Amino acid sequence: MSATTPNAHEFFMRKCIDLAIESKTNGESPVGSIIVRNDTVIATGIEAGKANMDITFHAEIEAIRMARKVLNTADLSDCIIYTTHEPCIMCSYVIRQAGIGMVVMSLSSGDTGGFNSQLPVLKDTSITKWGAPPIVITGILDAACREL
């Protein structure tokens, strides 16, 4: 199953949902994120800002931190990030810095989102050192994510 097919997106989003449930059980916002490379999950992340008293412990950033350690590189251009919620502006910046080529998400984060807000960092083409924006796929398993 290639990570670029609709069935794969649902498969990997279910893994994110499991992580989001873990996050919620820990008293955090129910957000889970994974990073996939060559159809294999190489990193996971859950929200942990309250536990660490540090806003940067978002699921997406935690997954990126883990992926960089696992791969021993800052370049994640051959990876896909999956997340139950639209990455916020902060996480979107980190995604762009890492060079991740595809973002697969479920729910919109409204005015704090890095794709649908007035500050669409994931779409930005004005910062040339980032290169082309990632492909963004939205709405995967919306109903299941909304139940979180």
In 3D space, the residue among 71, 76, 77, 80 whose CA is nearest the CA of residue 4 turns out to be 80
Edge-to-edge strand order for the sheet containing 32-37?
Answer: 40-46, 32-37, 80-85, 102-107, 135-137
Active-site residue, 60 included: yes
Residue with structure tokens 């290169």? 131
Contact 34, 66 (CB under 8 A): no
> Which one of 60, 62, 86, 147 is the catalytic residue?
60
Catalytic residue IDs: 60
